[in-house]
Amino acid sequence: MCGRFSITLPTDAMAQLFDAQPDNDLPDVPNYNVCPTNNIHVITGGDAGQRRLSSMRWGFLPHWYKKTNDGPLLINARAETIAEKPAFREAVRQRRALVVTTGFYEWTKTEDGARDPWFMTTSGGGACVMAAVWQNWTGPDGEALRSVALVTTAANQTMARIHHRMPVILAPEDWPLWLGEAGHGAATLMRAAPDDKLEVFRVDRAVNSNRASGPQLIAPI
């Protein structure tokens, strides 16, 4: 799964990386401790091939939710069942997106029950770009939100020693297919990244708090 991540890439660099038009309401960067229900940076395809860099709520809202907390918080969608689940099956066909991060956190437990945080980032640096699906949602009172969930799959060997799930991480050559710009076949991308794609290291337990902030959170220990 993926329950928290960091983003340090400046907005203009994100827009340039994805050749995307940035919206005006993007979240502040850097953010070393992005949590569920935060607004996050999302890249979508658009008419005439124009990509957009937008802000969306991390926590997918199915159309039948009457309020944002009307059901489970859907921050992740499993690749194995995404095409069958009522919440996601239309989105995975029509509304796929990319979420840009620096890397993501996962935890293991010690024998005494303490939680040790780990940080996963791309080997050699660079953006860690995750597959996602998104949805427009409108509540009964007219509240309108765009929401997004990350797509996860079974872990590769590198990740499996930390957790049995991982986000679907996409290479630049796969972005057009996932965004629907290069025809059909996006389902073939919902697989684990190669074992050498990720660098994994321990970080300080300060990140166990969702209120923690600062670059020290992603520093190896």
**Torsion 127-9-52-69 (CA) sign:** positive
**pLDDT tens by residue, the chain, 221 residues:** 689 999 999 999 999 999 999 999 999 999 999 999 999 999 999 766 799 999 999 999 999 999 999 999 999 999 999 999 999 999 999 999 999 999 999 999 999 989 999 999 999 888 999 999 999 999 999 999 999 999 999 999 999 999 999 999 999 999 999 999 988 999 999 999 999 999 999 999 999 999 999 999 999 99
Q: How far apart are CA 3 and CA 200, in angstroms?
A: 16
Q: What is the pLDDT of residues 108-132, one digit of tens each?
A: 999 998 999 999 999 988 899 999 9
Position 171 scores a pLDDT of 96
Contact present, 74 and 85 (Cβ < 8 Å):
no
Q: Quote the DSSP letter at residue 214.
A: S
